[in-house]
Amino acid sequence: MDREDPLWAIIPAAGYGARFGGETPKQYLPLSGRTVIEWAISPFLRRPGIAGIAVVLAPGDERWGELAPATDRVFAVTGGDERARSVLNGLLALRRRAGPRDWVLVHDAARPCLTDEDLQRLVETVRQDEVGGLLAVPARDTLKRSEGERVRETIDRRVIWQALTPQMFRLGPLIDALEAARASGAAVTDESSAMELAGARPRLVAGRGDNIKVTRPEDLPLAEFILGQTGLT
């Protein structure tokens, strides 16, 4: 097991949530007396071992200033036009404070139901892994590959996992992977996919299936129910 290198967090929150609709970005929607992003960041604020948290915002975002916690552990960074660019901006900002072997946790601003237990399991497991890893859930349903509107084949669900966040990698390698993906024009939808393109095989850490991402309006009441059931409210 490696020495416990410092641990940082990035919360990409520069998106506008086009699939959700409405004028308010989904991370700022009200949820159980707070906003979605406040719930998303709270597990990292509760964890004393996190050296700092970069919240990556859209240019001109004025909402976060009203919500930002009164602690110098949290600082704002301006994001880009897509998630990968925003995460990279956050990493480059961290590089002025952190070392290349420091660990970074990247967590969606629209995932308000992360439990302390899942965060702890991820950190404990990935600290023992040189590559890094992510929370994920094994597929439960029968999965179909399509061809148009017809089934082409059934996929063996035993080898399929649904990726969640946080995803945890070392600062230097993750910067290199995202910059290489950007230079090649490859589309990456999460940090793991960038590391995979760089030849790495990230560790899968089983997490809770109710660590949902608020994507559509019907997700908000579900998130409220989950927060109540998991004792987070």
Q: Which domains does the chain have, with CATH numbers?
A: 7-229 (3.90.550.10)
Question: For 211-231, how does the pLDDT look when each residue is reduced to its tens digit (9 = 90+)?
Answer: 999 999 999 999 999 999 987
Q: How far apart are CA 109 and CA 174, in angstroms?
A: 19
Cα distances (Å, whole numbers) of residue 56 to 17, 141, 161: 15, 34, 27
Residue 42 pLDDT > 80 = yes
Residue 18 pLDDT > 60 = no
Residue 148's pLDDT is what?
94
- Structure confidence at residue 15 as a pLDDT band (50, 70, 90): confident
**Average confidence (pLDDT) over 160-184:** 97
User: Which pTM value belongs to this model?
Assistant: 0.94
| Rounded percentage of the chain residues whose pLDDT exceeds 90 | 90
- Structure confidence at residue 106 as a pLDDT band (50, 70, 90): very high
Q: Which residues, at least 6 apart from 28, have a Cβ–Cβ distance to it below 8 Å? A: 35, 36, 37, 63, 67
Question: For 76-102, how does the pLDDT look when each residue is reduced to its tens digit (9 = 90+)?
Answer: 999 999 999 999 999 999 999 999 999
Q: Which residue has the tokens 């949820």?
A: 31
Mark residue 17 as left, alpha or beta (left: phi above 0; alpha: psi -120 to 50; beta: remaining).
Answer: left
Residue 189's pLDDT is what?
94
Residue 22 pLDDT > 80 = no
Residue 2's pLDDT is what?
44
